[in-house]
Amino acid sequence: MHFKKEFNFVKMSKTAFIFSIVLTIAGIISLAAFGLNYSVDFRAGSNVDVKLSKNVTIAEVQPLLDEMGIGKDASITPGDKRMNIRFTTELSSNQADQLKTEIQKLDKTASFEINTVDPEMAKELGRNAIYSVLLSCIGIIIYVSIRFEWRFAVAAIIALLHDAFIVVAIFSIFRLEVSQTFIVAVLTIIGYSINDTIVIFDRIRENMRFGKQKTREDLTNLLNHSVNQMLMRSLYTAFTVFIAAFFLFLFAGESIKMFSLAMCIGLVFGAYSSIFIASPLWLFLKFKQKPKGKAVKPSKA
Amino acid sequence: MKKRIATFIIVVLVAVGIMAWSTPGLLKSVRLGLDLKGGFEILYEATPLEKGQAVTQESLTRTAQSLEKRANALGTSEPEVTTEGTNRIRVKIAGVTNEAEVREKMKEPASLTFRSAYGCKAPAENAQPKDKYCKVELVGSDFVENGASVGYDQLNRPVIDIKVKDKKKFAEVTKRLVGQNLAIFLDDTMLSDPTVQSELTDGKAQITGNYTLDEAKQLSDTINLGALPLKLTEKYSQSVGATLGKQSLEKTLQAGIIASIVILIFMIAMYRLPGVIASFGLIVHTWLLILVFVWANFTLTLPGIAAFILGVGMAVDANIITNERIREEIRNGRSVMSAVKAGNKSSLRTILDSNITTIIVGTVMYAFGQGSVKGFALILIIEIVLSILTNVYFTHYLLSLLVKAGLLKKTKQFGVKESEINAL
């Protein structure tokens, strides 16, 4: 595939900016009002996943839990040949054992996954994730500023924070569960997003060497041309990585389903932001520099 | 020209041969994490046994070693015990059937103490031994680790010999308690409360009782295992049933295989012969990754497989960038030969810059992450490095061989129509 016609991405980016801003505001509101639907990774308590050979109803399990005295703290979500029970308190290993024995009375072949987390640990997980994002940003700013220029770094950082935030926002709006693997997904999205953006920036950098861009129009044309040149690559790569994440979402184990979903959403936004957010932002920053003339060094940043 | 075709064929055949020969063995030796084969993981936080003491790196390491010994003694296979940060120990035990028992023993280390009634209030009638002997004279860390052994007394009854690290301290305690009882406790259970006959200066003590040989052995084992330098509390635990783990593995592998096939078909459909080479590069890439896994003895976990599959998707990017670049050069009117040369060269810089930024993110994740985050980051970094080797250098090399051999000379073979070429 090869497009003869060149798209005017700079023009389209205005709509994209409005879309992103609206989504971001919706995300902020949702986060402020409802927060995130944290899994036990972030909340103290225990999570029990049971794989069964037949379907077991809440009515069968609830009395067992009540009998053990842990019924009040439990919320049961049955699924197709599986069941999830979440406790707001930590199960002791004796209780966990007792629970296993009781459920195995209902279904002999039941297989369990039990996670227990201390609230302190959970807080630490979240804190580390935020540190990771901030530190990654600093690393990227340094590297991109050395290899490119600071404007590229700033534009790329805004785009990647946008991608990470949109995924968090969508998970908040749709009440999807946020676990430890979600952090991994967001961090990977950041890695992918920056990767995708840099490839486009690399082309802009290359094209800038060929000619002197004197006017705003020159710069706009340069940007449009560069993005168009990289368009097929952006689409193909986003498609292949999306395929990988999408099949994981469809078929892979329960515990990485949400991870794959976050990846799928993040990949789409990662490709989108490289074209419609990062590139126009760089142009915007570059415009600010231009009127001063090329004789003035852009030192006061 | 023929020489190059021969080189190409030899390189491909050798690579295919090595991969076909080694893959089944490699796949078998990949170590699976407990989320894929069942087992449990516990994160302990260590605190000093006595207040005021600090958790040192040394004591943490020694505790980890004792835990590993303990896990081994309980008959588990390949327990994985690692220290984390300044005061954490992560224990992973896969494929355990008597989980409850193992966990109980791991969690509640038997702690040996010598106690006396020195300075205690007069005990009430029928007082429990642990109330009677209120003063702890010696704690687990005062005893030589693995110093307990079974011996026999004069009447040939089994006894347990233990050694104290600090002879002077033991001498002081025994001197002070001459004529009084020095009770030996395992946790809160009193084993015996012999009367101190005289000051003991050789740092040796004996636990007597009416033990059978088996009981004595068991007790000495417990004491040896119990001499942990630090106190442990469970902070996080995960336990996965074997069936559930196997199901996760199968499903995730299935997802990976389907995704890989779709990606390979896409590459070949899009880029024809160069696409075939790119696909070949991807297969070599995956094989190398498995090889690194086995050699470095990494444990494959579920997030690891996710990183693995995702990495394949991202590795394709290198091929796409190269091939799109070659197409572009052809459209700009370059000959196939010079387009491939220029395409390989300029795409290398692009790929390096974009991948290095991803490595930066991966490194931060590795440094700050815990558990599964760490594993994921490690695989991501290894994959990117391998991807640069295989999907950049190796495929570029194969592609140039084919072009130089004259097998790739029409622009159509790169999916570029004559009409798209701009005459310069």
Give per-residue pLDDT as tens, B65-124. 777 777 776 666 667 888 887 888 888 887 766 666 677 666 655 667 788 877 776 666
Give per-residue pLDDT as tens, B110-139. 667 788 877 776 666 666 666 777 777 877
Q: How far apart are CA B208 and CA B158, in angstroms?
A: 8
For residue B419, what is the nearest residue in chain A, using CA coordinates? Answer: A4
Model ipTM value = 0.77
Residue of A43, A143, A241 to mutate, testing the B interface (most B Cβ within 10 Å of its Cβ) = A241
Q: Which residues have C-beta within 8 Å of that of residue B100, sequence separation ≥ 6?
A: A93, A94, A97
Distance, first Cα to last Cα, chain A = 41
Are B364 and A139 an interchain contact pair (Cβ–Cβ within 8 Å)? yes
CA torsion sign for A193, B304, B83, A91 is positive
For residue B327, what is the nearest residue in chain A, using CA coordinates? Answer: A2
Per-residue model confidence as pLDDT tens for chain A (301 residues) = 566 678 888 888 999 999 999 999 999 999 999 888 877 667 777 888 887 887 777 787 788 788 877 777 777 877 777 788 878 777 777 787 788 888 888 777 777 777 777 767 667 777 877 888 888 889 888 999 999 989 999 999 999 999 999 999 999 999 988 877 787 788 788 888 888 899 999 999 999 887 777 788 888 989 998 999 888 888 888 888 898 889 888 887 777 788 889 989 999 999 999 999 999 999 999 888 755 544 444 444 4
pLDDT score of A164: 92
More confident call, B122 vs B324: B324
Contact residues, chain A, for B99 at CB < 8 Å? 97
Are B238 and A239 an interchain contact pair (Cβ–Cβ within 8 Å)? no
Contact residues, chain A, for B355 at CB < 8 Å? 195
Contact residues, chain B, for A198 at CB < 8 Å? 350, 353-354, 357
pLDDT score of A301: 41
Who among A113, A198, A247 is closest to B354 (CB)? A198
Where does B30-137 have alpha helices with state H? Answer: 34-37, 57-73, 99-107, 129-132
Are A121 and B252 an interchain contact pair (Cβ–Cβ within 8 Å)? no
Query: What DSSP designation does A6 have?
Result: P
Nearest chain A CA: its distance from B279 CA (Å): 13
Residues B267-281, mean pLDDT to the nearest whole number: 89
Nearest chain A CA: its distance from B407 CA (Å): 23
Contact residues, chain B, for A256 at CB < 8 Å? 252, 302-303, 306
Distance, first Cα to last Cα, chain B = 29
For residue B240, what is the nearest residue in chain A, using CA coordinates? Answer: A113
More confident call, A113 vs B51: A113
Tokens of B356: 């290095």
Are A194 and B361 an interchain contact pair (Cβ–Cβ within 8 Å)? yes
Residue of B244, B325, B385 to mutate, testing the A interface (most A Cβ within 10 Å of its Cβ) = B244
Give per-residue pLDDT as tens, B145-172. 677 788 888 778 888 888 888 888 888 8
Q: What percent of chain B has pLDDT over 70?
A: 87
For residue A261, what is the nearest residue in chain B, using CA coordinates? Answer: B306
Who among B314, B324, B361 is closest to A241 (CB)? B314
The edge-to-edge listing of strands for the beta sheet with B189-192 is B135-138, B112-116, B182-186, B189-192
Burial B20-31 (b: 16+ CB within 10 A, else e): eeeeeebeeeeb
Are B243 and A198 an interchain contact pair (Cβ–Cβ within 8 Å)? no
pLDDT score of A168: 93
Are B324 and A233 an interchain contact pair (Cβ–Cβ within 8 Å)? yes
pLDDT score of B358: 86
Residues B236-258, mean pLDDT to the nearest whole number: 82
Nearest chain B CA: its distance from A291 CA (Å): 30
Say how many C-beta atoms besides its own lie within 10 A of residue B194's C-beta. Answer: 15
Residues B178-207, mean pLDDT to the nearest whole number: 77
* Residue B392 exposed, middle or buried by CB count within 10 Å (0-12, 13-18, 19+): buried
pLDDT score of B159: 83
Contact residues, chain B, for A131 at CB < 8 Å? 368
For residue A95, what is the nearest residue in chain B, using CA coordinates? Answer: B100
pLDDT score of B298: 82
Domains of chain B, CATH where assigned = 2-32+241-423 (1.20.1640.10), 39-109 (3.30.70.3220), 112-227 (3.30.1360.200)
Widest Cα–Cα separation across chain B = 109
pLDDT score of B161: 84
Nearest chain A CA: its distance from B261 CA (Å): 10
Who among B238, B357, B380 is closest to A140 (CB)? B357
A186 HSE (CA, 13 A, CB side): 27
Q: What percent of chain B has pLDDT over 90?
A: 5
Nearest chain A CA: its distance from B294 CA (Å): 23
Nearest chain A CA: its distance from B399 CA (Å): 19
Contact residues, chain A, for B265 at CB < 8 Å? none
SS3 assignment, position A51: strand
Are B320 and A240 an interchain contact pair (Cβ–Cβ within 8 Å)? yes
More confident call, A293 vs B63: B63
